[in-house]
């Protein structure tokens, strides 16, 4: 029974963590720059598979393979210049992809063409076209949603996508990202959902593992950083032409208390910051495993280091704040604004505003000798200010007594650690 309870706790924690997971700030900017030309679509209803794909970009499952050491110089994949990142564009210019050109017709008459793929030990990137002279449906999720790729020793799940609709609304050029595939597979099958009833579909295409790109760096790091509530250990780095993946494990009690994640960990190559693509965290019984994903490394590599600039921290403060509406307070250098105080059917409600990545710990209210701990927090929303994003939420206390003081024992916040980990490039 204890084991079952533990499993339920881990699953519940993982569900909540995924729900709160967000990509780094520059991720949206990078995606948006590629999608600016896309007309606005009206979503008819929320689709679970699209949501899974969006989250999945942060949750690749990494599998290491030893690819055959053949460099491939083939044909370029045309028509994707607007949605290729810098690294992928350079690789395509060098002809580092495989031309597929396999097609099938979806149930609504839309033609799906797999134009090409790029593969290495970190991922498979698929380039595809959807075309329909009658027009692509407003909600793409009703037309085509990728699921996974299977093949010999392969079960590669999707991890995000980008798409670009033409001005006529009749053609979409898109890319999809999957886990790496087996070097022993000779053919692969793309599984997808189609139509408003989400019927299953698939298309099989040939695959030549000899055309997978070589791994540039695969080595241990084995460096641990001590943080306020635990440790973070960086174990390995795998750099391929398309991406760089760093794996590790951590045991940090308050990692998920704020939404910052690994945004403050940077990869520096030759003195320049490599673009952060995303990160994933998976709960385990003895802590958590994580992978950090960055863009590909430069061809000529002279130096490489991890900059552990910022991460979640914790500070005991033992604050006693006089409760009054529209008042500003300082919490060890962090702003707290009390906006409203009200007595409702739920009890006493205090609406506060703080920086986005600041969470109060050990909160209660005091009236005379009576101390009432916080019951719950409701109505959280993010407000975009000129120079920052703030979090507004309402704390509920199960009492009818108006408080004199707000008591706070500690804060979870983004802390500067500023540690460097050098990675050998010999």
Res 387: pLDDT: 82
Res 8: pLDDT: 56
Structure token digits, residue 283: 């709960």
Res 111: pLDDT: 95
For residue 76, name the pLDDT band (cuts at 50, 70, 90).
low
Q: Check pLDDT > 70 for residue 60.
A: no
Res 381: pLDDT: 93
Q: What angle do CA 398, 330, 411 make, to 5 degrees?
A: 60
Res 12: pLDDT: 55
The owner of tokens 């898109």 is 174
Give the tens place of pLDDT for each residue, 93-152.
777 788 899 999 999 999 999 999 999 999 999 999 999 999 887 777 778 888 899 999
Per-chain mean pLDDT for the chain? 82
Q: What is the DSSP secondary structure assignment for residue 212, as one 8-state letter?
A: S
User: Measured between alpha carbons, how far is 384 from 373 in angstroms, rounded to an integer?
Assistant: 30
Q: Check pLDDT > 50 for residue 232.
A: yes
User: How confident is the model over 282-305, as a mean pLDDT?
Assistant: 88
Strand 111-119 with 187-194, pairing: unpaired
Q: Check pLDDT > 80 for residue 80.
A: no
Q: Of the ranges 20-34, 147-161, 314-328, which is most confident?
A: 314-328
| φ/ψ of residue 10, rounded to 5 | -65, -45
Give the tens place of pLDDT for each residue, 172-187.
988 899 999 999 999 9
User: Measured between alpha carbons, how far is 35 from 13 in angstroms, rounded to an integer?
Assistant: 33
Helices (H) and strands (E) in the chain, counts: 4, 24
Give the tens place of pLDDT for each residue, 174-227.
889 999 999 999 999 999 999 888 899 999 999 999 888 888 889 999 999 999
Q: Is residue 47 within 8 Å of 144, Cβ to Cβ?
A: no
3 state DSSP class of 56:
helix
User: Measured between alpha carbons, how far is 200 from 198 in angstroms, rounded to an integer?
Assistant: 6
Give the tens place of pLDDT for each residue, 11-38.
555 444 444 444 444 444 444 443 333 3
Give the tens place of pLDDT for each residue, 357-411.
999 999 999 999 999 999 999 999 999 888 889 999 999 999 999 999 999 999 9
3-state helix, strand, coil in the chain (%, to 5): 15, 50, 35
Q: Which 3-state string (H, E, C) describes 282-321?
A: EEECCEEEEEEEECCCCCCCCCEEEEEEEEEEEEEEEEEE
Strands (E), 152-275: 154-165, 171-178, 187-194, 199-206, 217-227, 230-239, 244-252, 265-269, 272-274
């Amino acid at each position: 029974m204890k084991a079952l309870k533990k499993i339920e706790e881990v699953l519940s924690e993982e569900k909540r963590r995924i729900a709160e997971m967000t990509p780094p700030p520059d991720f949206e900017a990078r995606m948006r720059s590629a999608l600016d030309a896309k007309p606005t679509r009206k979503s008819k209803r929320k689709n679970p598979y699209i949501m899974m794909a969006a989250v999945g970009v942060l949750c690749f499952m990494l599998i290491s393979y030893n690819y055959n050491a053949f460099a491939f110089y083939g044909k370029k994949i045309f028509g994707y210049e607007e949605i290729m990142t810098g690294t992928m564009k350079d690789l395509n210019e060098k002809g580092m992809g495989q031309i597929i050109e396999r097609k099938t017709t979806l149930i609504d008459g839309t033609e799906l063409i797999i134009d090409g793929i790029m593969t290495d030990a970190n991922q498979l990137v698929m380039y595809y076209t959807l075309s329909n002279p009658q027009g692509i449906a407003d909600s793409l999720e009703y037309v085509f949603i990728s699921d996974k790729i299977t093949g010999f020793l392969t079960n590669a799940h999707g991890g995000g996508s980008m798409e670009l609709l033409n001005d006529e609304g009749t053609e979409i050029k898109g890319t999809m990202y999957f886990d790496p595939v087996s070097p022993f597979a000779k053919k692969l099958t793309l599984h997808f959902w189609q139509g408003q009833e989400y019927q299953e579909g698939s298309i099989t295409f040939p695959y030549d593992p000899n055309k997978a790109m070589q791994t540039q760096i695969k080595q241990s790091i084995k460096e641990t950083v001590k943080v306020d509530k635990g440790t973070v250990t960086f174990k390995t780095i795998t750099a391929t032409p398309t991406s760089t993946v760093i794996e590790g494990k951590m045991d940090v009690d308050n990692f998920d208390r704020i939404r910052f994640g690994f945004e403050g960990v940077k990869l520096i190559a030759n003195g320049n910051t490599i673009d952060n693509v995303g990160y994933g965290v998976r709960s385990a019984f003895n802590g958590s495993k994580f992978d950090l994903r960055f863009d590909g490394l430069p061809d000529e590599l002279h130096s490489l280091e991890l900059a552990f600039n910022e991460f979640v921290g914790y500070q005991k403060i033992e604050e006693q704040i006089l409760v009054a509406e529209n008042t500003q307070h300082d919490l060890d250098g962090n702003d707290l604004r009390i906006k409203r105080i009200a007595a409702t059917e739920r009890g006493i409600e205090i609406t506060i505003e703080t920086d986005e990545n600041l969470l109060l710990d050990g909160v209660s209210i005091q009236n005379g000798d009576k101390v009432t701990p916080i019951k719950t927090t409701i109505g959280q929303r993010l407000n975009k200010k000129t120079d920052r994003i703030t979090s507004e939420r309402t704390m509920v206390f199960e009492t009818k007594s108006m408080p004199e003081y707000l008591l706070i024992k500690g804060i979870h916040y983004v802390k500067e650690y500023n540690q460097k980990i050098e990675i050998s490039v010999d």
